[in-house]
């Protein structure tokens, strides 16, 4: 390692790699937490996917009908 004339460029390149990879990891982790939190919030309000309704929650008939409809939509989308 005697010719380290361009060590600053090498360091900058590795720093750029660390930043890009770091941003990707942060994006993936934070997004995972955010989606988990939103699902938990919605489930607290009594909205569950139909395939998960093993614990039968008390629901109004109207809500049940709405659930039917959106479950079909989700089946299409999934």
Partner 1 sequence: MALIDLANPSRFLKFANGAIPWLAGVTVLVFAFALEQAMIAPDDYQQGATVKIMYLHVPSAWLGMLCWGLMSVAALGTLVWRHPLADVTAKAAAPIGAAFTLLCLVTGSLWGRPEWGTYWVWDARLTSELVLFLLYLAVIALWNTVEDPSRAARAVAVLTLVGAIDLPIIKFSVDWWNTLHQGASVFRVGGSTIYPTILLPLFIMAGAFTLLFITLVLAAMRNEILRRRVRTLQLMQASAAN
- Residues of this chain that interact with partner 1 (CB under 8 A) are 1, 3-7, 9-10, 12-14, 16-17, 20-21, 23-25, 27-29, 31-32, 35-36, 38-39, 42-43, 45, 47-49, 51, 62-63, 66-67, 69-71, 73-74, 76-78
- Rounded to the nearest angstrom, the gap between the alpha carbon of residue 2 and the centroid of all alpha carbons in its chain is 47
| DSSP secondary structure letters along 2-49 | ---TTHHHHHHHHHHHHHHHHHHHHHHHHHHHHHHHHHHHHHHTT---
Residue nearer to partner 1 on the CB measure, 4 or 56? 4
Residue nearer to partner 1 on the CB measure, 38 or 58? 38
């Amino acid at each position: 390692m005697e010719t380290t004339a361009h060590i600053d460029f090498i360091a900058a390149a590795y720093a750029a790699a660390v930043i890009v990879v770091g941003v990707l990891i942060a994006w993936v982790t934070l997004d995972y937490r955010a989606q988990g939190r939103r699902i938990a919030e919605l489930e607290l309000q009594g909205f569950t996917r139909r395939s998960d309704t093993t614990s039968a929650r008390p629901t109004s008939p109207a809500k049940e009908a709405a659930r039917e409809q959106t479950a079909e939509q989700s089946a299409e989308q999934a």
